[in-house]
Amino acid sequence: MTATDTRNEPPKKPDPGPMSREWYWHPDLPLKFAPYWQWPLEPAALAKWVWQNWLQFSDRSMYVALAFVVAFWLQPVGSEQATLAFHWVSWVFIRNWVFLLIVAGGLHHWFYGIDAQGKLLKYDPRPYMKRKNALYKFGYQTWDNIYYSMVFGATSLSVFEVILRLAFASEFARTLSFTAHPVWFVVLFPVLALWQSFHFYVVHLFLHQPFIYKHVHAVHHRNVNPGPWSGMAMHPVEALGYTSAMLVLLILPAHPVHMLFLAYWLMLGAASSHSGYEALWAKDRQALLLGAFFHQLHHRYYECNYGNAEMPWDKWFGTYHDGSEAATRITRDRKRQMHAQGQARKSKQ
Ligand SMILES: [Zn+2]
Ligand SMILES: [Zn+2]
């Protein structure tokens, strides 16, 4: 432990849980899905979750706020966007690169640049890979991740944002207004988070098919111990698949603000969820909840938790890792089976 770890520690859990040998810190286990999937429904837990995630200061509420700033102030969809033109398209690309630079760069600087909270609330006991390693492009995990995030991740998101702006401006996609449909306008935010969870599960399952994994998804999975820049560090094919979640808005009536929320949830949410920390800790308190232990388990054990904690797709389809040692054993067996099947297929050919 570094000197910084001893100050302002959050309250210690009485029982560190069955995974404490493999993790420096982890949330309460077994890991739970969003409380609207708990049955019987616990209204108090649900209200607390909605408050913490959607209403209070959180990464999610920040992305909602940012979507409003862009949709109503920085670059509203206007009639000039009905045709492709360099000036407005370039703003889309530049803005998304800058947002990713600020969020992923800012989180990276806090956690791994100035090491602002040491290992406080850090999942992986191993230090972030700062040493030169031939596995990565340019020899370093951070430079590799920045390259893939900026060149492919943010770029493919911008391509879809441009397509949707064209669709809204030319009235190919219907624009939903708050005054005409106030309830649906609000409900669409959580609906899009659920949609993203489903889309991510399906695309991610496909990415784990052996051939695709080897040639595409392996780029992302070299980050066993991820950092904020790892979130959007993807092979171009994966980047297009992941960000294609936005295309649902070609058929689902929405406002550009919903499109932007989905974009930031996909891009900036990936930076926060790969940070490797449960929360940002500043001024003796938890300043910002980032926690994505669910996905951290995927980066450690691979064949589990293809979706996210928003919706229990993994539970329904038998790929759920709840953080326990038993789940680790089951996941390792599944990995061995998949490997054996792959070998059998190869020897038949
Ligand atoms: Zn990941
Ligand atoms: Zn994966």
8 pLDDT above the threshold of 60: no
Locate 225 and state its tokens.
């111990």
Locate 159 and state its tokens.
């391509």
pLDDT digits (tens, 9 = 90+) for 88-118: 999 999 999 999 999 999 999 999 999 999 9
H helical segments located in 251-324:
256-273, 293-301, 313-316
Burial annotation 307-323 (CB, 10 A radius, 16+ → b, else e): bbbbbbbbeeeebbbbb
Instruction: Characterise 175 by phi-psi region: left (phi > 0), alpha (psi -120 to 50), beta (else).
Output: beta
CA 5 to ligand 1 centroid distance, Å? 26
CA 53 – CA 325 distance, rounded (Å): 28
**pLDDT over 90 for what percent of the chain?**
72
CA 218 to ligand 1 centroid distance, Å? 11
Our measurement of the distance from residue 21's CA atom to the centroid of its chain's CA atoms, rounded to an integer in Å, reads 26
199 pLDDT above the threshold of 70: yes
CA 273 to ligand 2 centroid distance, Å? 14
CA 52 to ligand 2 centroid distance, Å? 27
Gyration radius of the chain over CA positions: 21
pTM as predicted? 0.91
Question: What is the pLDDT confidence band of residue 19, given thresholds at 50, 70 and 90?
Answer: low
Q: Does residue 217 contact residue 256 with C-beta atoms inside 8 Å?
A: no
CA 299 to ligand 2 centroid distance, Å? 7
Question: What is the pLDDT confidence band of residue 7, given thresholds at 50, 70 and 90?
Answer: very low
Tell me the ligand closest to 296's alpha carbon: 1
What lies within 8 Å, CB to CB, of 82 at 6+ separation is 166, 169, 170
Q: Does residue 122 contact residue 277 with C-beta atoms inside 8 Å?
A: yes
Q: What is the pLDDT of residue 340?
A: 81
What lies within 8 Å, CB to CB, of 176 at 6+ separation is 184, 185, 188, 253, 254, 255, 258
CA 84 to ligand 1 centroid distance, Å? 33
Amino acid in position 330 = I
pLDDT digits (tens, 9 = 90+) for 305-324: 999 999 999 999 999 999 98
Tell me the ligand closest to 212's alpha carbon: 2
Nearest to 277 by CA among 23, 31, 48: 23
Mean pLDDT of the chain: 91
Q: Is 53 exposed, middle or buried (0-12, 13-18, 19+ CB in 10 A)?
A: middle
Tell me the ligand closest to 225's alpha carbon: 1
248 pLDDT above the threshold of 80: yes
CA 119 – CA 196 distance, rounded (Å): 31
CA 54 – CA 318 distance, rounded (Å): 29
CA 33 – CA 12 distance, rounded (Å): 23
Question: What is the pLDDT confidence band of residue 269, given thresholds at 50, 70 and 90?
Answer: very high
For the chain, which residues make up each domain, given as ranges?
A: 53-296
CA 207 to ligand 2 centroid distance, Å? 7
Tell me the ligand closest to 272's alpha carbon: 1
Q: What is the pLDDT of residue 20?
A: 60
CA 328 to ligand 1 centroid distance, Å? 18
The residue-averaged pLDDT of 221-239 equals 96
The residue-averaged pLDDT of 68-75 equals 98
Tell me the ligand closest to 209's alpha carbon: 2
